Amino acid sequence: MMYHEEFESLPRPALEGLQLKRLQATVARVYANVPFYRRSLDSAGLRPDDIRSLDDLQRIPFTTKQDMRDSYPYNLFAAPMEDIVRIHASSGTTGKPTVVGYTRKDIDTWAELMARTFVTAGVHKGDIIHNAYGYGLFTGGLGAHYGAERLGASVIPMSGGNTKRQIMIMQDFGSTVLTCTPSYSLFMAEEATLEGVDFRGLKLRVGIFGAEPWSEAMRAEIEGKLNLTALDIYGLSEIMGPGVAQECIEAKSGLHIWEDHFLPEIIDPETGAVLPEGTKGELVITTITKEGIPLLRYRTRDITSLTREPCRCGRTHARIARMSGRSDDMLIIRGVNVFPSQIESILVQIEGVEPHYILIVDRKENLDTLEVQVEVDERLFSDEIKHLQALAHRIEKEIKDVTGVTCKAKLVEPKSIQRSEGKAKRVIDNRKL
């Protein structure tokens, strides 16, 4: 089943013709409306008229998260503020988030693409969608919500947290589809067991899991414990939010990236060179229908590969492989993006704390945990225990306020964290996917 059959099964030559037309319109739009892109295209010696084939995409400079940060909050918008009807944000590498804006048409496109994404996962009108992605500045909750309504399914806007209540609602409301991070789904299954609820007895049929990397082994575990078909979804707020790519239920083999709206490329993260199909590298995406904040060659930092091999579902859109990591140091903790530099910028502002720290990430009972070990100065370390406890609580609170992630702060003796020559090791990730 396809939601936009005409577009999803468009023969490649026709799809590429459409992509070129939309790319040309996008380049013209940002050249005219976004000073950053005018400078960037000028510096590459490009005018909008120079984009004559899809190969010309490679001549366009990249856009990075740093560029978005430098344009905080609205300088990359290509539409006047009075046409922006929604604003979302995701965490940046320091305290300031990355901001995106949507016009009415962008919100409409997003709902359509998210509806398409649901249908690709085998979801239809009549399904009861339990949406446990977070609602708020994060795009997950509202993105899935609008798509579910567009499809005509019944959506339960649960958001994250309060697991016991989630389980009760799923059981009583007869939810047939679950959307959340893969690790949260396993955590819920375990909580259910403790509550004496057999997850396998629920009506859940399909789970759409994303916002963090996972593996085939984890898929098998989820499908076994939740008695549903577990499928991978991909999206990021900079590009749109959830619904950029989705695994089809027919093949369960790679995620179709919606190529009538997004142009994917895989590059070598070191050299920036475009890599051949099937080679692992960093995913770069150009948006070709957005009005609010179109992005040219945005470096997602996600590591994957791309194939245009035909898929048995009949869709002609390229497939990206499961995300296998990041080309930067971003951590995904319970679905939330966290950069070590964000935590560092909090620590350096707290008196008595040394700029030596290490983040220890683990997964206990399927829930990610973060411990922040940080050195305190000599004087403080010999201080009363209650002062140290107050300091640890302050660190935990400030990290929670800025990143949204709950952590445990552990104060350690001066000079006890191993020093390294060259790039300091800031993260120990003990999670096994």
Task: Specify the residue, 299 or 315, whose C-beta has the smaller distance to Zn ion.
Answer: 315
Whichever of 35 and 314 has its CB closer to Zn ion, that residue is 314
Provide the binding-site residues for Zn ion, judged by CB under 5 A: 248, 251, 311, 313, 315
CB of 312 to Zn ion, least distance (A): 6
Minimum CB distance to Zn ion smaller for 248 or for 336: 248
C-beta of 229: minimal distance to Zn ion in Å? 14
CA triple 184-188-194, angle to 5 deg: 145
Nearer CB in complex with Zn ion: 252/394: 252
Structure tokens at 313: 């579902």
Rounded to 5 degrees, what are φ and ψ at 154? Answer: -95, 120
CB of 260 or CB of 375, closer to Zn ion: 260
Q: Which residue carries 């988030």 as its tokens?
A: 97
Smallest gap from Cβ 186 to Zn ion, in A, equals 26
Q: Tokens standing for 220?
A: 């098998």
Closest contact distance (angstroms) between CB of 121 and Zn ion is: 11
Q: Which is nearer to Zn ion, 170 or 248 (CB)?
A: 248
Strand order in the sheet with 306-307: 154-157, 128-131, 177-180, 206-209, 229-236, 241-247, 255-257, 319-320, 306-307
CA distances 77 to 50, 95, 257, Å, are 23, 21, 24
Q: Minimum CB separation from Zn ion for residue 282, in Å?
A: 23
Q: How far is the CB of 310 from Zn ion (least distance, A)?
A: 9
| Closest approach of Zn ion to the CB of residue 209, in Å | 17
Cβ at position 44, least distance to Zn ion in Å: 35
Reference 128, options 155, 91, 94, 148; nearest CA is 155
CA distance 306 to 310: 12
Taking the least distance from each CB to Zn ion, the nearer of 188 and 248 is: 248
Q: Which lies closer to Zn ion via its Cβ, residue 132 or residue 311?
A: 311
Q: Which amino acid is at 390?
A: A
